[in-house]
């Protein structure tokens, strides 16, 4: 792996040739390619310019070592919009795509992807409290349970629902309520607070609410030991099952 600017994993470009030379001398190791990663840590977006820079580096290493790499792994879902436009170097032959396949989205660029479904993952959680409450906090506001400081506009008294779901379960900021009129207020470790004043139909105590997901919620929820996973298969050409 080569760090082309996002500052996650990989050697720096000027270290690539020496590192590959050292790897080739190790017993039991087959060096089959170079890879790079973008917009995972710092959010540096793939562009035609930085992709070409990586392709030029691959050519440089191959010439220096007299080898041809089997794989040039140039990115992931965030690169797909450039693939669609034909704006990736011909030398690229491998992408590590997760989000685009799993959810049909690319939330880093919001590019339109030719995926047939974007509702393959749903989240359900039980309503454990419904009450009318003032929307503004009462008292001096400091950091919340996750060291974040928020501003809370005074919207008057609103009807709120609490769900048995929180940040220990998954990334709640990547959830989108499917019921009309429901919005997310915030979350703590194990409680998700919703504004359900305008919900249609009204939210009732004890029912389950449904959410669409973005990739961060899928990734964290699937890895969490606190969530129950249910997989439903659909025969080819059949309609998607109802929850």
Which domains are assigned to the chain?
13-102 (no CATH), 122-223 (2.40.37.10)
Say whether pLDDT at 242 is over 60: no
The per-residue pLDDT for 212 is: 95
pLDDT tier, 243 (very low <50, low <70, confident <90, very high otherwise): very low
Predicted model pTM:
0.86
Residues across the chain: 243
**Whole-number CA gyration radius for the chain:** 23
C-alpha 43, offset from chain centre:
12
Share of the chain above pLDDT 90, in %: 85
Q: Which long-range contacts (CB under 8 A, 24 or more apart) does 85-90 make?
A: 87/48, 87/51, 88/48, 88/51, 89/51, 89/52, 89/54, 89/55
User: pLDDT digit string (tens) for 228-240?
Assistant: 999 988 776 655 5
User: pLDDT digit string (tens) for 65-124?
Assistant: 999 999 999 999 999 999 999 999 999 999 999 999 988 899 888 888 888 888 889 999
The per-residue pLDDT for 99 is: 92
Residues contacting 156, CB < 8 A, separation 6+: 134, 135
User: pLDDT digit string (tens) for 21-60?
Assistant: 999 999 999 999 999 999 999 999 999 999 999 999 999 9
Partners of 35 in beta bridges: 73
The per-residue pLDDT for 117 is: 81
Q: Looking at residues 180-185, what average pLDDT do you find? A: 98
N- to C-terminal Cα separation, the chain? 41
């Amino acid at each position: 792996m080569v760090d082309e600017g996002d500052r996650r994993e990989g050697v720096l470009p000027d270290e690539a040739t020496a590192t590959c030379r050292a790897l080739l001398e190790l017993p039991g190791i087959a060096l089959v390619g170079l890879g790079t990663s973008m917009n995972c840590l710092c959010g540096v977006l793939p562009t035609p310019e930085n992709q070409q820079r990586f392709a030029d580096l691959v050519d440089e290493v191959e010439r220096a070592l007299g080898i041809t790499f089997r794989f040039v792994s140039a990115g992931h879902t965030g690169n797909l919009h450039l693939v669609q436009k034909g704006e990736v170097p011909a030398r690229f032959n491998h992408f590590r795509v997760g989000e685009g396949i799993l959810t049909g989205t690319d939330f880093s660029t919001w590019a339109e992807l030719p995926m047939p479904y974007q509702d393959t993952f749903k989240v359900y959680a039980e309503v454990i409290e419904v009450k009318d409450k003032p929307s503004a906090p009462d008292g001096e506001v400091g950091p919340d349970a996750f060291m974040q400081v928020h501003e809370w506009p005074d919207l008057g008294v609103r009807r709120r629902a609490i769900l048995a779901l929180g940040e220990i379960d998954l990334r709640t900021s990547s959830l989108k309520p499917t019921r009309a009129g429901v919005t997310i207020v915030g979350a703590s470790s194990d409680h998700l607070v919703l504004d359900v004043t305008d919900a249609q139909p009204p939210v009732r105590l004890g029912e389950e609410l449904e959410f669409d997901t973005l990739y961060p919620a899928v990734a964290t929820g699937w890895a969490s030991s606190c969530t129950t996973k249910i997989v439903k298969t659909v025969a080819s050409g059949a309609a998607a099952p109802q929850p």
